[in-house]
């Protein structure tokens, strides 16, 4: 099941990267916007950072021990 979703995400990533070459940014303001794949990579990295931050926040701050109320 995990391999199926991983393959789907890889195919979607390749698809959106290909779309960034077909429809480039028309008026780039910064040098990194000249890279055709920048938007795709920015989205992937942004999502991964959000996931890691949310998991670490939950692990170190929000989760309590199993016997939290017994103390």
Q: pLDDT per residue over 18-42, tens digit each? A: 887 888 767 888 888 887 788 778 8
Whether 70 shows a pLDDT value over 80: the answer reads no
26 contacts: CB under 8 Å, gap ≥ 6: none
pLDDT for the residue numbered 53: 93
Q: For residues 19 and 40, give the distance between their C-alpha atoms in angstroms, rounded to a whole number.
A: 9
3-state secondary structure at position 60: helix
Give the mean model confidence (pLDDT) for residues 43-66.
87
């Amino acid at each position: 099941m995990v391999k199926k979703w991983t393959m789907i995400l890889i195919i979607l990533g390749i698809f959106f990267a290909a779309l960034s070459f077909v429809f480039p940014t028309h008026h780039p303001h910064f040098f990194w916007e000249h890279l055709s794949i920048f938007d795709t990579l920015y989205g992937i990295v942004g999502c991964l950072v959000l996931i890691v931050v949310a998991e670490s926040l939950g692990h170190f701050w929000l989760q309590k021990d199993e016997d939290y109320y017994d103390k």
